[in-house]
Structure 1
Amino acid sequence: MKRYTLLFLLPLLFFAACSSHKAIVAPVANTKKVYETQVDSFLDIARQMNPAMLVDSAGVSIPSQFIATVNLNLRKPNYVILHYTAQDSLQQTINTFSQVRTQVSAHYVVGKDGRIVHMLNDYLRAWQAGVSKWGSITDMNSCSIGIEIDNNGNEPFTEPQIKSLLILLAQLKKNYNIPQANFIGHADIAPGRKPDPGPFFPWKRLAEKGFGYWSDDIVVPAPDNFDYVTAFKLMGYDTRNINGTIDAFKRHFIQTDITPQMTQLDLNVLFNVYRKYQ
């Protein structure tokens, strides 16, 4: 029987991700073996062609069968979530993502010297977003690529880091046709719970390259009846904890002030930015 596209594509993607490159950090023992075992288990699931086993309210089985379609491919990421590692080194982060007990991972890690470690195939689901929400999406892990940047949260990002990050983002945007609005931070999707990538992150510079939005230099003042809570919702923010939402917004778009009050300047910036999301 002719094999289907999915059965060929996943192994090819896996082997491409594991091709030989010069080591830039020390790998953790046995992680490659565990990775291969996990991917094999996913392939076994993808190969299953079992019909849905359904019964009606009287307990009578509903006839069903599996007839394979020839029109399929892999689900692709549609968001990029940016983080700082909050750790002391690239090696420490690699070690963290290589331990089962930590239950956390990301697709990419960007070192201070600009080196990039690709840790998970882009089509696979990393554990990086946690409890989060953006718009109506409550499982951000299933639709996003996670990028961790080596930074403890209290220091500027390095120029080599940002240059490498911009190149990586350009490739991801092109490969997966990711909309400009869908490059966001961990704080944006988990307001009040996560602060990263933090007030040192150069969001304006990213927006100038087409990754996320930023306020114009000259903004139209927000109208007197401007409903900022609704504006947050239209952008995608979870507003159930409004103080957390304000904090997340200001960490991203204000950066010089993260107090939980909306000043007139904050309202003007929000009015300018949220209209870009429409």
Structure 2
Amino acid sequence: MSLINLVRNRQSLLIVFVLLVSSCSSNRYAATEKVYKEKAKGFSKIILATPPEGQLYDSINAANQQWIGSVNFGIRKPNFVIIHHTAQDSLNQTIKTFHSTKAGTSAHYVISRDGKVVHMVNDYLRANHAGVSKWGKDTDLNSSSIGIELDNNGIGDVWQDAQINSLIKLLATLKKTYNIPTANFIGHADIAPGRKNDPKNFPWKKLADKGFGFWYDEVLKNPPADFDTEKALKYIGYNTANLPAAIEAFKIHFIQSDITKTLTPVDILVLYNVYLKY
């Protein structure tokens, strides 16, 4: 075999190898994509059913109910964004978890440490990220929010600029697309006091400076003598059924250097300043 033919054969083998690797990489999640499409198709059948199945208010006297479809309706849209840390060691580990039916958890987006954004659930669909939670009078945040998981183990992991920059770009898109109020960009700990503590040591001020959530001013006003801290926490949105847990959640978000379950004089100044923004 001539040297030229040998080189050509090796080049051909290399091309085939590259194509095979590329094919395997692109089809890595083919099985889970199929499951996603099948589930979405099942939901579409539920939406298209007329009359809707299982929505009789009087099963005994069904003839007393009639279906007449209106022409004025649309898709439900998210009104909150909930930010989490993954408490795992890599983007791939989190993707694997969100493909586990046993784990049963998911999020709309996952952002890696290097800023890569992975979209995993359609924004209009309900992801399983909030769990048992409450904010204000909303007791089902899964149904009203978009969940964003940030690749961070929650144990001393430093927040990377690339990750936060990607998050800010994503939040800008979501806020504009769904007209999400500034106040409605919150953390997992905020909506699940005592149960969750993420994201920890998070740069909330940097987000607030861009219009995603609130932060306190540099100069803090003194609250009135009759300032009720529990009512203020509740007014902001915290579930105060377990007041120490609500205080801890507030401090995870706004204080960070001290997350004990009691309010110091400085904490009260911060709480009053944040309360005035709602």
Q: Which runs of 5+ in 2 are unaligned?
A: 1-23
Residue matched to 2:186: 184
Alignment of 1:62-141 (within 5 A): 62-141=63-142
Distance 2:202 2:58 in 1: 53
Residue matched to 1:11: none
Partners of 1:54 and 1:62 within 8 A in 2: no
TM-score normalised by L of structure 1: 0.87
The verdict on how the C-alpha distance between 1:81 and 1:50 changes in structure 2, with shifts beyond 3 A counting, is: same
Distance 1:83 1:54 in 2: 38
Partners of 1:53 and 1:62 within 8 A in 2: no
The verdict on how the C-alpha distance between 1:24 and 1:253 changes in structure 2, with shifts beyond 3 A counting, is: farther
Residue matched to 1:10: none
Distance 2:147 2:79 in 1: 11
The verdict on how the C-alpha distance between 1:25 and 1:186 changes in structure 2, with shifts beyond 3 A counting, is: farther
Partners of 1:134 and 1:237 within 8 A in 2: yes
Partners of 1:189 and 1:238 within 8 A in 2: yes
Partners of 1:156 and 1:201 within 8 A in 2: no
Distance 2:209 2:134 in 1: 25
**2:40 match: secondary structure:** helix
Distance 1:203 1:164 in 2: 15
Question: Once the 2 structures are TM-superposed, how far is the Cα of residue 108 of structure 1 from its aligned partner?
Answer: 0.2
The verdict on how the C-alpha distance between 1:55 and 1:115 changes in structure 2, with shifts beyond 3 A counting, is: closer
Question: Once the 2 structures are TM-superposed, how far is the Cα of residue 176 of structure 1 from its aligned partner?
Answer: 0.2
The verdict on how the C-alpha distance between 1:97 and 1:161 changes in structure 2, with shifts beyond 3 A counting, is: same
CA offset digits 1:250-277 (Å, max 9, x no partner): 0101111111110110000000001111
Question: Once the 2 structures are TM-superposed, how far is the Cα of residue 222 of structure 1 from its aligned partner?
Answer: 1.9
Distance 1:126 1:142 in 2: 8
**1:30 match: secondary structure:** helix
Aligned length: 253
Distance 1:264 1:46 in 2: 53
* Cα RMSD (Å): 1.9
TM-score normalised by L of structure 2: 0.87
The verdict on how the C-alpha distance between 1:26 and 1:272 changes in structure 2, with shifts beyond 3 A counting, is: farther
CA offset digits 1:116-155 (Å, max 9, x no partner): 0000100000000000000001000000000000000122
Q: What is the letter of the counterpart of residue 178 of structure 1?
A: I
Residue matched to 1:13: none
Structure 1 stretches of at least 4 aligned residues deviating more than 3 Å after TM superposition: 23-29, 51-56, 59-62
Query: What percentage of residue pairs aligned between the two structures are identical?
Result: 54
Q: Which runs of 5+ in 1 are unaligned?
A: 1-22
Q: What is the letter of the counterpart of residue 67 of structure 2?
A: F
CA offset digits 1:154-213 (Å, max 9, x no partner): 222100000000000000000000000000000000000000011x21000000000000
Distance 1:163 1:60 in 2: 57
1:160 and 2:159 aligned: no
Moved more, 141-150 or 59-68: 59-68
Q: What is the letter of the counterpart of residue 42 of structure 1?
A: F
Moved more, 74-83 or 151-160: 151-160
Partners of 1:28 and 1:98 within 8 A in 2: no
